[in-house]
């Protein structure tokens, strides 16, 4: 039985995949969520078949396992079935830490340490090496700047870069593909929108959505800027003040508001109203956000 302990889901999954690949006999693989199990269910799952087929049984979210489930794992680990490989994925947390420590004594333990921010550069370079590609530190830095810090995203990006460039990855190749768009906030996207930077606004929006930024949060930030633009446009010649907005932000948007037309602002207000409805469940929120970002930023340039 293998126990993989680590908080980074992607790294833990990688260790799981290696164990499965090394399992002999072309095994079937099945996965079960520990929170849905009872002790008797564990015993039933690990019972050998009459044909003695090779099997890999993966148990995920071990930190959510009940006491009886962890106790069942301990008993099962003491009397392993040769044709069954058991993998338990665990963050190391939860209420049953004592039982986890006890389980470690009778299993093969894989401790998966998280990649610290200062080690990401080295991790990226090692990832390239795993694809038989050697890159310089400036290439690794460009990947981090263009993709962000999520390891799963970085791994996917590196695999794509190596495939597209036949292993010869340069800084220019990275920048061409990712255009320097990393982790951006909704407020940064909103600023790009009202200033008419369509290409960068759309690319940043896609990136933010890929990284899990909720569409409703992006909508709120964009709506705030559009409301401010409308307010500042109507107050031209007056002191620059927008309720709830810091003076420096109001000053910045006041300069941008001068480039907007009354017609564009009216259309923008309607688009925001439609977007707010879409992100509340009416339609496809992610598509609606990207469409609004593109349309609004184009309005800003008219």
User: What token pair was written down for 142?
Assistant: 């460009």
Instruction: Choose among 62, 63, 55, 12: nearest CA to 32.
Output: 62
Q: What pLDDT score was predicted for residue 295?
A: 93
Q: What is the pLDDT of residue 220?
A: 92
> What confidence tens digit (pLDDT) does each residue in 125-161 have?
999 999 999 999 999 988 887 777 889 878 888 988 8
Q: Which of 21-30, 212-221, 274-283, 291-300 has the lowest mean pLDDT?
A: 274-283
The predicted structure's pLDDT at residue 247: 74
d(CA 222, CA 227): 9
- Assign 3-class secondary structure to the chain: CEEEECCCHHHHHHHHHHHHHHCCCCCEEEEEEHHHCCHHHHHHHCCCCCCCCCEEEEEECHHHCCHHHHHHHHHHHHCCCCCEEEEEEECCCCCCHHHHHHHHCCCEEEECCCCCHHHHHHHHHHHHHHCCCCCCHHHHHHHHHHHCCCHHHHHHHHHHHHHHCCCCCCHHHHHHHHCCCCCCCHHHHHHHHHCCCHHHHHHHHHHHHHCCCCHHHHHHHHHHHHHHHHHHHHCCCCCCCCCCCCHHHHHHHHHHHCCCCHHHHHHHHHHHHHHHHHCCCCCCHHHHHHHHHHHHHHHHCC
- Residues 89-104 pLDDT 10s: 999 998 899 999 999 9
Residue 185: pLDDT band (50, 70, 90) is: confident
Q: Residue 148's pLDDT is what? A: 77
Mean pLDDT value across residues 56-69: 96
Q: What is the pLDDT of residue 140?
A: 92
The pLDDT of residue 178 is 65
pLDDT for 58 beyond 80: yes
Of the listed ranges 50-54, 173-177, 237-241, 282-286, the least confidently predicted one is 237-241
Mean pLDDT of 182-195: 84
Q: Model-level pTM?
A: 0.60
Q: How confident is the model at residue 300 (pLDDT cuts 50, 70, 90)?
A: confident
Mean pLDDT of 77-97: 94
Rounded average pLDDT over 253-273 = 91
Instruction: Provide the pLDDT for residue 183.
Output: 63
* pLDDT tens per residue across span 117-134: 889 999 999 999 999 999
CA distances 33 to 5, 16, 37, 88, 157, Å, are 15, 15, 7, 10, 29
- What confidence tens digit (pLDDT) does each residue in 6-36 have? 999 999 999 999 999 999 888 999 999 999 9
Q: Which structural domains are found in the chain, ordered by start?
A: 2-111 (3.40.50.300), 117-178 (1.10.8.60), 186-300 (1.20.272.10)
HSE, CB side, 13 Å, CA atoms: give it for residue 207.
26
pLDDT over threshold 80, residue 182: no
Query: pLDDT per residue over 212-259, tens digit each?
Result: 888 999 999 999 999 989 888 877 655 556 666 667 777 888 888 888
Asked if 218 and 289 touch (Cβ cutoff 8 Å), the reply is yes
Q: Within a 10 A sphere around the Cβ of 116, how many other Cβ atoms? A: 8
């Amino acid at each position: 039985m293998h126990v993989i302990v680590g908080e980074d889901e992607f790294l833990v999954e990688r260790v799981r995949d290696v164990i499965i690949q090394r399992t002999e006999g072309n095994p079937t693989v099945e996965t079960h969520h520990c929170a849905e199990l009872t002790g008797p269910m564990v015993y039933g799952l690990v019972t050998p078949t009459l044909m003695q087929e090779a099997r890999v049984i993966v148990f995920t979210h071990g930190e959510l396992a009940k006491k009886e489930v962890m106790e069942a794992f301990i008993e099962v680990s003491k009397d392993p079935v040769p044709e069954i490989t058991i993998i338990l994925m665990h963050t190391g947390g939860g209420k049953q830490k004592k039982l986890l420590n006890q389980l470690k004594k009778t299993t093969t333990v894989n401790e998966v340490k998280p990649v610290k921010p200062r080690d990401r550069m080295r991790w990226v370079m090692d990832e390239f090496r795993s694809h038989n590609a050697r890159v310089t530190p400036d290439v690794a830095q460009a990947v981090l700047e263009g993709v962000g810090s999520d390891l799963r995203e970085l791994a996917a990006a590196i695999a794509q870069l190596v495939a597209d460039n036949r292993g010869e990855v340069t800084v220019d190749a990275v920048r061409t593909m990712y255009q320097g768009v990393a982790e951006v906030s909704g407020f940064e996207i909103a600023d790009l929108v009202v200033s008419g930077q369509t290409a960068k606004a759309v690319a940043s929006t896609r990136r933010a959505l890929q990284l899990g930024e909720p569409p409703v949060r992006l909508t709120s930030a964009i709506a705030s800027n559009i409301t401010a633009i409308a307010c500042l446009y109507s107050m031209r010649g007056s002191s620059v003040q927008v309720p709830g907005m810091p003076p420096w932000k109001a000053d910045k948007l006041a300069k941008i508001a001068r480039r907007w037309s009354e017609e564009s602002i009216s259309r923008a207000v309607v688009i925001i109203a439609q977007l707010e409805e879409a992100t509340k469940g009416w339609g496809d929120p992610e598509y609606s956000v990207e469409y609004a970002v593109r349309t609004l930023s184009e309005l800003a340039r008219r």
